[in-house]
Amino acid sequence: MENSRGNVSEAADRRRRINLYKKIIAFVLLFLILLPTFFCVILFFRVNSLQNEIKELKADNNNYSAQSETADPNYVYAAETTTAEKETEKETIKGPLSATTNKVNEQTSAVTEETTSAASLIDQALADGRKVVYLTFDDGPSDYTQELLGILKNHGVKATFFVNGKEGEEYVKDYNDIIEQGNTLAMHTYSHDYQLVYSSLDNFIGDFKKLQDYLYKVTGVKSSIFRFPGGSSNSQSQIPVTTYINYLNEQGITYFDWNVSSGDGASGLTKEQVEKNVLGGIAKNDISVVLMHDANEKHTTLEAVPYIIESLQAENALILPITDDTMPVQHNIK
Ligand code: ZN
């Protein structure tokens, strides 16, 4: 009797303990399920708020290009029809490799002053109804770079050169002369090889750094302005161009496309066609970023430049090199 009661109470104890364990296990499982859910909810809201921030930043960023496109309905058309490369620029920070901190500071304040005056110069020019024009030359240096620099110098004009990586003393002289004359030295990839630079982010970065480092080595200038071969709206890239753009943004590099094309990316254009495309395009915009090429097979572009500059100067246009503070013209990324 005693024994059987003892067995009964032992069995009841065991059941209670088992129930307790069951409850503990249930709580632990519930906790393990709820914890990740809780973090998921937190992360969801965080991602949402970050996405909104990105949207706002993009909206701000797109204002300028939206204005350009509105001003020139042919803007996208020109970009799609040209086979020319698109180009982006970044700022250049000038200074010899041996520059002291003081010198850097002096240069920084000089750049700030220049920036301020350039911005007010542009505002004033636009208020006076003048055109603002950025002449840009891609793919150099070439056999014609020195001649082109001579034309610019004789006309008192500064332009922007989106260059590729070319080894050799004559090219090193070209890079340095571009800078010494007050033009902007900007990057256009080292190889200009679509198959290479557009095959993967790693290949793009490798090529990008190779050019940036090379130009810094031979000129002492670290460029921060870039143009994509074929432009940011090119159809050659095997991965979304936004992948490269995100990388450039992280590096503090500004890329520039254009809103006026000389059309000289196509072969066989006459001098007159180049002039007509450029001046006709500029006529449609308040601010124009003009795509031309500094390349051996583009002699008619070189021939057209004096007439283009003289025509612009006759109508009192303000011709400037692209700098770090220039509002970029960027194509729509699909
Ligand atoms: Zn190009």
57 C-alpha to ligand 1 centroid (Å): 29
Q: Which positions ≥6 away from 328 have C-beta within 8 Å?
A: 64, 65, 88, 89, 254, 255, 256, 257
Distance CA 241, CA 94 (A): 29
262 C-alpha to ligand 1 centroid (Å): 13
Distance CA 105, CA 94 (A): 12
Confidence of residue 126 (pLDDT cuts 50, 70, 90): very high
123 C-alpha to ligand 1 centroid (Å): 31
The pTM is what?
0.68
Calculate the CA 276 to chain-centre distance.
Answer: 28
Examine the pLDDT at 212 and tell me if it is beyond 70.
yes
- Evaluate whether 233 touches 240 at the Cβ level (below 8 Å): no
193 C-alpha to ligand 1 centroid (Å): 9
296 C-alpha to ligand 1 centroid (Å): 13
Confidence of residue 333 (pLDDT cuts 50, 70, 90): low
Per residue in 113-122, pLDDT (tens digit) is: 556 677 889 9
135 C-alpha to ligand 1 centroid (Å): 15
- Evaluate whether 92 touches 322 at the Cβ level (below 8 Å): no
Per residue in 139-188, pLDDT (tens digit) is: 999 999 999 999 999 999 999 999 999 999 999 999 999 999 999 999 99
48 C-alpha to ligand 1 centroid (Å): 38
Scanning 162-270, the segments in alpha helix (DSSP H) are 169-180, 194-197, 201-219, 241-250
pLDDT number for residue 25: 83
225 C-alpha to ligand 1 centroid (Å): 14
96 C-alpha to ligand 1 centroid (Å): 28
- Residue 61, H or E segment: helix 2-71
Q: For the chain, how far is it from start to end, CA to CA, in angstroms?
A: 87
263 C-alpha to ligand 1 centroid (Å): 12
Question: Dihedral sign, CA of 110, 114, 117, 92?
Answer: negative
- The angle formed by the CA atoms of residues 291, 153 and 264, to the nearest 5 degrees, is 20
164 C-alpha to ligand 1 centroid (Å): 8
Q: Which two tokens stand for residue 35?
A: 């914890």
Examine the pLDDT at 326 and tell me if it is beyond 70.
yes
- Residue 111, H or E segment: helix 101-127
Per residue in 253-275, pLDDT (tens digit) is: 999 999 999 999 999 999 999 99
Quick one: residue 220, left, alpha or beta (phi over 0 = left, psi -120 to 50 = alpha)?
Answer: left
Arithmetic mean of pLDDT over the chain: 83
47 C-alpha to ligand 1 centroid (Å): 37
- Residue 27, H or E segment: helix 2-71
236 C-alpha to ligand 1 centroid (Å): 13
Examine the pLDDT at 327 and tell me if it is beyond 90.
yes
pLDDT number for residue 172: 98
**Which of 255-288 are b and which e, b meaning 16 or more Cβ less than 10 Å from the residue's Cβ?**
bbbbbbbbbbbeeebebebbbebbbebbebbbbb
pLDDT number for residue 103: 40
- Evaluate whether 176 touches 218 at the Cβ level (below 8 Å): yes
Q: Which two tokens stand for residue 235?
A: 């159809």
- Evaluate whether 282 touches 253 at the Cβ level (below 8 Å): no
81 C-alpha to ligand 1 centroid (Å): 15
Q: Which two tokens stand for residue 276?
A: 């007509």
90 C-alpha to ligand 1 centroid (Å): 15
265 C-alpha to ligand 1 centroid (Å): 8
94 C-alpha to ligand 1 centroid (Å): 24
202 C-alpha to ligand 1 centroid (Å): 20
Question: Per this entry, what is the length of the chain?
Answer: 334
188 C-alpha to ligand 1 centroid (Å): 7
Confidence of residue 97 (pLDDT cuts 50, 70, 90): very low
DSSP annotation string for 240-306: -HHHHHHHHHHTT-EE---SEE--TTSTT--HHHHHHHHHHHHHT-SEEEEEEE--TT-HHHHHHHH
pLDDT number for residue 218: 98
223 C-alpha to ligand 1 centroid (Å): 17
268 C-alpha to ligand 1 centroid (Å): 17
Running DSSP on this structure, what letter comes out for residue 331?
P
Distance CA 196, CA 194 (A): 5
62 C-alpha to ligand 1 centroid (Å): 24
- Evaluate whether 216 touches 222 at the Cβ level (below 8 Å): yes
Do the strands 318-319 and 90-93 form a parallel or antiparallel pair, or are they unpaired? unpaired
227 C-alpha to ligand 1 centroid (Å): 8
